[in-house]
Chains A and B, each alone.
Chain A
Amino acid sequence: MKQTLITLIENKPGVLHRIASLFRRRNFNIESVVAGSSETPGITRMTIITNEMDRQKRGNIYYNLLNLVNVVAVKDVSDLPCVTREFILIKLQSSLGQFRELNRLVKKFGARIVDKGSETIILEATDEKDMIDQLVDALNPFNITEIMRTGKISMRKGRTHNVLSETISANADQEKWQPEQIDTYQ
């Protein structure tokens, strides 16, 4: 399971630079970053996916992000039930002869044709990463000329989790990053 971090940041100039600089400086590997507006004005919400598998290092990434002054809150949702989605645009150079087969695939994957040109077709799809991967594989015979994928976005299932209002207690959170579980202190 990759590390998934939901991060709320102040919408100020240069904040993305600060986060990118942190990952660069600490030698953390980002798999994807998606940023966009949140329910709160002035607060940008990011979903950051890292390749880090080690719990201790995951904790280090978490606290370094939290230490950034413009980062308002961070939640590691790697082990929590989430809805996770990725969006893709695909351009195909395709003749009309293949259209029936293409339509079948579009239906199967719940994708949509959003542009039909004389020589090209643009598809869009939204799904979990694995399904998007399968869609791309299935479309390979149709001469894919361009792909744009957004990377993953995540939201926790269940009651509204306002990351902002959840108190950040490092002393409770610290246990989460322990290499192996020791006593609980509460």
Chain B
Amino acid sequence: MKKRKLTGAEIIWECVAKEEVEVVFGYPGGAILPAYDALEKYRDKIHHVLVRHEQGATHMADGYARASGKVGVAMATSGPGATNMITGLATAMMDSSPIVCITGQVPSSVIGSDAFQEVDITGATIPVTKHNYLVMDINELADIIKEGFHIARSGRPGPVLIDIPKDIQNQSIEFSYPETLIDIPGEVKSSGANDGQLKKFVEMIKASKRPFILAGHGVIISEATANLLEMAEKATIPIGATLLGIGGVPKNHPLVVGWMGMHGDTWVNQAIQKADLLIACGMRFDDRVTGNLKTYSPNSKKIHIEIDPAEINKNVKVDLPIHADLNEILSQVLPNLDQQDHHLWLNQIDKWRSESTGRDIIHQDPETLMGAHVIRKIWEGTNGNALIVTDVGQHQMLEAQYYEHNEPRTLITSGGLGTMGFSLPAGIGASFYEKDREIWVIVGDGSFQMTMMELGTAVQENRNINIAIINNGYLGMVRQWQEMFYDARYSETPIMSPDYIKLAEAYGLEAFRVENLDDVIPTMRKAQKQQGPSLIEFVVEKQDMVYPMVPAGADLHKMIERPVNITNEKKITNNQESLV
């Protein structure tokens, strides 16, 4: 490899380009100026997207990473630029999303002196990164970037931050790209399952009468969809998805019965509670999924396949822990698995399903426009094929309930951290990978106002995304909790919105307002025709709530279901016990 003399700033771009990064989301500033100056020489390899706020850059990198499975990259300056990234790092950490954030730092000679725009960002981000680095020697820069990308994407993916002082960016060295990764002695690698574990796996399925598969985000990350379905089909095992597992298993498959948890399907939660075997695949038994741990699936044996050993036996004690890559384990188990029939069990789940269908708002015909109906129409209007990016709140739960996803990586949502303001930037980021698929950003009026300045980015970059604001004039999910658990004292949840049509006009994009169900599809058609971003504001019922619901910490089977007639009875007073 021939050597060239390069500056630290040039080395950053050389290394980033070698990681097959085509787009970087960022915002320049004092301490990262050398890198931005050097960017001019790499324009042919890397497209830079100027964001409006560094938080947006991190969510864009995250959205890009979740849509593509590749590493997303964000860049910012020191101090406030770097601290603005913390929310995005924490979001990516919770949802195992591989992003690399590169931040400028004050010159190494003044680190520790409270220099202008100095923050100890490596110290501050230790709890919200998989790993981070402060580069103090230009000779280590290339190795660190290579290692950082490796750590972000390997094992359980996660965010990595690399902090590079300005003087390191300005120094020059004879450079040759490190073709091989230097050894990471502390890297935890799975040794794969041993024969005993695999044998036990098969035996436990064989012995089971009511098995149930919990499909998490790991199914998507490990690309295990085909093997998981084959296992389910062979032994007739029903599958439920977690919020982040949606899309990892196709909703139109007869064995995929729905999704689980706080606002999941009643019949899925009932099946989990009544199962005699849970096969947890790439998930972490989040409290939104389990409800009360003491009463969670009390009579089941549990198999847990998970790439992060610290997640095994963390919340739920399991009988067969397997620390390994999911797809690898499934491919090892499949040849030894016998055909099995669990149709009685499937019929039971179907019976539970039919019992709760009557309560579903989607089968009712309310006078006002309901969020649920808007989501359902978006599903129809996109033939169920869109990439949906949601924000956080009622609309997010409605999306999971009423938009049926049949392919992995078609739903991007902030699950673990529940970051409001995630969707618009994440949708912009995703659009840089997903160029052929229609993209819809579904967002509440509260969430939208947290990061709506990124409209500027969407317009400047002419991103072909459709933004659907579900406007109910409230911080709806918080309002729902106030109605249910705080005697309907709506403390600080009514929220004013700007005129979104005028706002959109100010940014120079087409916008529409919809107040009737019949107008949903025709307006969608107009938005779909637009080149570049478009926005539709759906003005929906202010007081609706998301049902069913497991109150925080309650038993999973004690779901509150929608009152039969929504117009007569808005207030919920009884805790419906749906599983006796």
Residues of A within 8 A of B (CB): 9-10, 13-14, 17-18, 21, 25, 56, 59-60, 63-64, 66-72, 164, 167-172, 174, 177-179, 182-186
Contacts and interface: CB of A to CB of B under 8 A. Distances in A.
Contacts of A17: 123, 126
Given A14-B134, A170-B188, A171-B322, A185 B197 contact: yes
Interface stretch (B311-319, B461-469, B523-531): B311-319
Interface in B95-145: 122-123, 126-127, 130-131, 134, 136
B193 interface: yes
5 contacts: A56-B317, A171-B190, A171-B321, A174-B309, A179-B317
B313 A67 contact: no
B191 A25 contact: no
B151 interface: yes
B580 interface: no
Contacts of A68: 186
A60 B197 contact: no
Interface of B: 122-123, 126-127, 130-131, 134, 136, 151, 184-188, 190-197, 199-200, 308-310, 312-314, 317, 319, 321-324
A171 B186 contact: no
A170 B127 contact: no
Given A56-B313, A67-B308, 19 more contacts: A10-B185, A17-B123, A25-B127, A56-B317, A63-B308, A64-B310, A69-B187, A71-B186, A170-B191, A171-B191, A171-B197, A174-B309, A178-B313, A178-B317, A182-B319, A184-B196, A185-B195, A185-B196, A185-B197
Given A17-B123, A17-B126, A184-B196, A174 B134 contact: no
B132 to A, nearest CB: 9
Contacts of B317: 56, 178-179
Contact of B314 (A60, A168, A171, A183): A60
Contacts of B321: 171, 174, 178
A67 B310 contact: yes
A59 B313 contact: yes
A60 B316 CA distance: 12
Contact of A60 (B122, B151, B193, B310): B310
Q: Which of A25, A69, A184 has the most CB of B within 10 A?
A: A69
A94 B122 CA distance: 49
A171 B313 contact: no
B363 to A, nearest CB: 44
B355 to A, nearest CB: 35
A164 B190 CA distance: 16
Contacts of B188: 66-67, 168, 170
B193 to A, nearest CB: 6
B186 A63 contact: no
Nearest to B136: A13
